[in-house]
Structure 1
Amino acid sequence: MAGDASSLAELRSLEQVENRSLSTSPPYWDSDDDGGPKPSDLYGKYTWKIDKFSQIDNRELRSNAFEVGGYKWYILIYPRGCDVCNHLSLFLCVANHDKLLPGWSHFAQFTIAIVNKDPKKSKYSDTVHRFWKKEHDWGWKKFMELSKVLDGFIDADTLIIKAEVQVIRERADRPFRTLDCQYRRELITVYLTNVAHIFRLFVEERRTKLGKLLEDKARWSSFCAFWLGMDQSSRHRMSREKSESIMKVVVKQFFIEKEVTSTLVMDTLYSGLKALEGQNKDKMSKGKYLEAEDLPIPIVGMEKDTFILVDDVLLLLERAAMEPLPPNDMDGTVGEDFKKDSIERNERRLTELGRKTIEIFVFNHIFSKIEVAYQEDVVLKKQEELIHEEEAANRANIQRRS
């Protein structure tokens, strides 16, 4: 059984979870053109009511089995703690793990909540885990202090536990959709700042590196001479790259299996990639993807299965290093101030952050290839200079001897 998993416990309005209205997400957030089952088909909820809670003497209790994503699960609770004192312990478990085929694994994100009479005080915890033979249960040994359980969580001697389970369908070749749209919206209210920070940190690090090249006047001048001295066909060839080879690296970079934010990161990158593809497919309908006045001029384009730089690398490098990121004014308000339009606004901004991250990632990938060629050219020229100097020295020695 798992120990204390890395998690972030949050207080969220229960009404926010229960009011699962039809999605009004902006374009791309509800799209999913990958084959196989959709995240909405792999998502489910379960409510467990434990009556006469004060009379329970059992060390552990198991809920009935429930099915999500084609797999059977149950909730395991230790009313007086599992290997810890003064805490209630909670775990999600694979129900029939001993009957599954060798090598099985279920990868899932899940949220478990203990319901309070005051919905705003309900206790939520989220985590993500790959369930397998030796780790077929996962959760929290210290989910809640026992002293706090009596503070509104037991009503008429009944404890109510709710679970949301999202089985994740993975891909290694490109960003993929991970979350049911309403579950995603719930998680956005909690992890919005964390997800935005991940993208901003990545983009800023890459921009800083590009900026250093621009600031080094001698190196920048040398690079410009190298690039302008290259024939047109070579520049054309080096300004493009197969999308599959880049997208594999994107997934490897951003999908960190044990990070609870990785699912939202993947959903954001998926939406950002779709926005980038849509931006290239039909510029005339740009208003349907993002607000027209907010739509930036692209740095990267797509031709079938290939990413291309839309302009000369020297011009694009300056833009990539200097263009501002989307404004950092995302509204993560919850509770009574929680509005659906704020979520839609946040999804639009995340889409633009995802698009910008994909764009900078692609540009950096292509530019790195060009930079390697430049460095090889510099080394080759230095070698040629050394050879010429050595030949000149040899000729001078011969002349002196004669």
Structure 2
Amino acid sequence: MTGIVSEESGVGKSVEGTSSGQRCQSGEALAEWRSSEQVENGITSTSPPYWDSDDGDDGPKPLELFGRYTWKIEKFSQINKRELRSSPFEVGGYKWYILIYPQGCDVCNHLSLFLCVANHDKLLPGWSHFAQFTIAVVNKDPKKSKYSDTLHRFWKKEHDWGWKKFMELSKVYDGFVDTSDNLIIKAQVQVIREKSDRPFRCLDCQYRRELVRVYLTNVEQICRRFVEERRSKLGKLIEDKARWSSFFSFWGEIDQTSKRHMSREKTDVILKVVVKHFFIEKEVTSTLVMDSLHSGLKALEGQTKNQKAKVKLLDAEEIPAPIVHVEKDMFVLVDDVLLLLERAAIEPLPPKDEKCPQNRTKDGDSGEDFNKDSIERDERRLTELGRRTLEIFVLAHIFSNKIEVAYQEAVALKRQEELIREEEAAWQAESDQKAKRGSEREKKSKKKQIFLSFHYRPDKNGATEKERTKGGRRALLSLYLRRTKTMLLMTKMILT
């Protein structure tokens, strides 16, 4: 059993990795068989410089953190050990080794493969290595070689990561073990330089191209899903006639200086949120999404500087007019936000690439021309996806975090003013009602005073109206009695 370093390449299809120490079994590895010879030749790129460079970033470049290793296991059929380890190899300043279980790790009838940190027990507490890697078991027919990729943060409790069910043992002797009874295992390891504040170039250009041939469709789905979700929200805003009219009125009342201020945001603020949203450590496509956004950002910066377009147009179609441009350290909306929102809600996305990378290897094309065309096409699409996604992200971020916040504050202030006016009107109505009730009470009081003053005011003889009324009643009663008495006497005289 010997280990040798090789410059040969491999490509892979991602499945979820598992630690060799874990008891849970991973799902069946989803493999892709592709010919590595189409990406081994190191074709000179005619792409814009930012497709293959890491310019402007500090620290080691992805190329310096990438390495390949080939391990040839001799007399494989005679091995009766439970596990085998390759010789240590160094990539990105860290030591690694490949761990293989010829009869499976906690599973039966499967070959298990893992990538491990070689000196994990001697590292300082708190150590971690974040890496993307591909492990391949080579077949005599390169198109049938078994590849698998994954992305993982290696640390104290997860210092080994890979696949318990890498492939079925029954298939190992189907072209994987050569006539000399040798099994060849290849590994490609890309240590990820962590830069969480903005999209960054994660992968060596050749390794990236290999992964793009498998994952471009997945990256496209991620970007499309995000863009469609944001477009849907903007569409619902515009379809809500009452709210859109209210927002339209709000925006029309703002002065131009305030509009310019609300239509821009610092690049560092937005890009940090972009990375947080898209870079998921357990998803192998995250590195390609970062690459796509990195290229898209460079394309936006190139458009802002009025450089001649070096990117070939997708399917001979013109690239849509930009939504944002970059001014020094600021993202700035290129037009009035109302127009951009309407445009973003209805503007169609670039058509899906029906001719996916996996199918291109079956077209019968081969050679340098095919490689150049396919690489250029993939890179153009990756850049356009990143540019479009970044534009929509910036527009949605500025709208949600600045313009809509100002609109909500204006609506809340307007509502508060309406409530104040309603309270003032209610208070005024209550005051008027109280004043009216007070006036009525005053009138009643005056009437009472007049009545009392009339009835109880003494005349020149010192008698009040009440007393005079009482005396008059007595006089009338006396007169009535006298008259009654007189009539009775007259009646009696007549009768007698």
Name the TM tier (shorter chain): over 0.9
Q: How has the CA–CA distance of structure 1 residues 13 and 318 changed in structure 2, closer, same or farther, with 3 Å as cutoff? A: same
Please show how residues 243-282 of structure 1 align to structure 2 within 5 Å: 243-282=267-306
- Tell me the CA shift for residue 133 of structure 1: 1.6
- Answering whether residue 87 of structure 2 is matched by residue 61 of structure 1, we say no
Higher RCO structure (Cα 8 Å, ≥6 apart):
1
Q: Distance in 2 between matches of 1:145 and 1:275?
A: 45
SS in 2 for 1:351: helix
SS in 1 for 2:32: strand
Q: Distance in 1 between matches of 2:166 and 2:38?
A: 21
Q: Which deviates more, 392-401 or 5-14?
A: 5-14
* Pairing partner for 1:363 from 380, 389, 395: 395
Equivalences, count: 400
Q: Distance in 1 between matches of 2:168 and 2:261?
A: 62
Is the CA contact 1:16–1:186 (under 8 Å) kept in the aligned structure 2?
no
Please give the per-residue CA displacement for 1:270-293, whole angstroms capped at 9, x wherever unaligned. 00000011110125x1x2134396
Please show how residues 1-400 of structure 1 align to structure 2 within 5 Å: 1-2=19-20, 3=22, 4=25, 8-33=30-55, 34-156=57-179, 157-283=181-307, 285=308, 287-291=309-313, 294-329=318-353, 331-332=356-357, 333-337=359-363, 339-340=370-371, 341-368=373-400, 369-400=402-433
- Tell me the CA shift for residue 397 of structure 1: 2.9
Q: How has the CA–CA distance of structure 1 residues 91 and 229 changed in structure 2, closer, same or farther, with 3 Å as cutoff? A: same
Q: Which amino acid aligns with 2:247?
A: F
Q: Which amino acid aligns with 1:400?
A: Q
Q: Distance in 2 between matches of 1:313 and 1:48?
A: 58
Is the CA contact 2:111–2:164 (under 8 Å) kept in the aligned structure 1?
yes
Q: How has the CA–CA distance of structure 1 residues 80 and 293 changed in structure 2, closer, same or farther, with 3 Å as cutoff? A: closer
TM-score (norm 1): 0.95
Is the CA contact 2:296–2:384 (under 8 Å) kept in the aligned structure 1?
yes
Q: Distance in 2 between matches of 1:109 and 1:189?
A: 16
* Residue segments in structure 2 that go unaligned for 5+ positions in a row: 1-18, 437-496
Is the CA contact 2:102–2:112 (under 8 Å) kept in the aligned structure 1?
yes
Q: Which deviates more, 17-26 or 243-252?
A: 17-26
Q: Distance in 2 between matches of 1:26 and 1:331?
A: 23
Q: Distance in 2 between matches of 1:242 and 1:211?
A: 26
Is the CA contact 1:279–1:289 (under 8 Å) kept in the aligned structure 2?
no
Q: Distance in 2 between matches of 1:210 and 1:114?
A: 48
Q: Distance in 2 between matches of 1:315 and 1:192?
A: 32
Is the CA contact 2:99–2:116 (under 8 Å) kept in the aligned structure 1?
yes
- Tell me the CA shift for residue 268 of structure 1: 0.5
Q: How has the CA–CA distance of structure 1 residues 232 and 26 changed in structure 2, closer, same or farther, with 3 Å as cutoff? A: closer
SS in 2 for 1:108: strand
Q: How has the CA–CA distance of structure 1 residues 5 and 279 changed in structure 2, closer, same or farther, with 3 Å as cutoff? A: farther
SS in 1 for 2:386: helix
Task: Using the aligned pairs only, state the percent identity.
Answer: 75
After the TM superposition, which parts of structure 1 deviate over 6 Å for at least 4 consecutive aligned residues? none
Please give the per-residue CA displacement for 1:348-384, whole angstroms capped at 9, x wherever unaligned. 0121110011111111111112111111211221121
Q: Distance in 2 between matches of 1:265 and 1:14?
A: 23
Is the CA contact 1:117–1:152 (under 8 Å) kept in the aligned structure 2?
yes
Please give the per-residue CA displacement for 1:198-228, whole angstroms capped at 9, x wherever unaligned. 0000001001101111111111111011011
- Tell me the CA shift for residue 24 of structure 1: 4.4
Q: Which amino acid aligns with 1:71?
A: Y
SS in 1 for 2:184: strand
SS in 2 for 1:117: coil
Is the CA contact 2:85–2:97 (under 8 Å) kept in the aligned structure 1?
yes
Q: Distance in 2 between matches of 1:280 and 1:5?
A: 47
SS in 2 for 1:84: coil
- Tell me the CA shift for residue 307 of structure 1: 0.8
Please give the per-residue CA displacement for 1:321-370, whole angstroms capped at 9, x wherever unaligned. 11111121253134353632123112101211100111111111111121
Alpha carbon RMSD of aligned pairs, Å? 1.7
Q: Distance in 1 between matches of 2:99 and 2:46?
A: 35
TM-score (norm 2): 0.78
* Residue segments in structure 1 that go unaligned for 5+ positions in a row: none
Is the CA contact 1:210–1:321 (under 8 Å) kept in the aligned structure 2?
yes
Q: Distance in 2 between matches of 1:290 and 1:311?
A: 26
Is the CA contact 1:13–1:334 (under 8 Å) kept in the aligned structure 2?
no
SS in 2 for 1:88: strand
Q: Distance in 2 between matches of 1:400 and 1:134?
A: 78
- Tell me the CA shift for residue 316 of structure 1: 1.1
Q: In terms of Rg, which structure is larger?
A: 2
Is the CA contact 1:268–1:354 (under 8 Å) kept in the aligned structure 2?
yes
Q: How has the CA–CA distance of structure 1 residues 387 and 217 changed in structure 2, closer, same or farther, with 3 Å as cutoff? A: same
Q: Which amino acid aligns with 2:80?
A: D
Q: How has the CA–CA distance of structure 1 residues 280 and 289 changed in structure 2, closer, same or farther, with 3 Å as cutoff? A: farther
Q: Distance in 1 between matches of 2:321 and 2:114?
A: 48
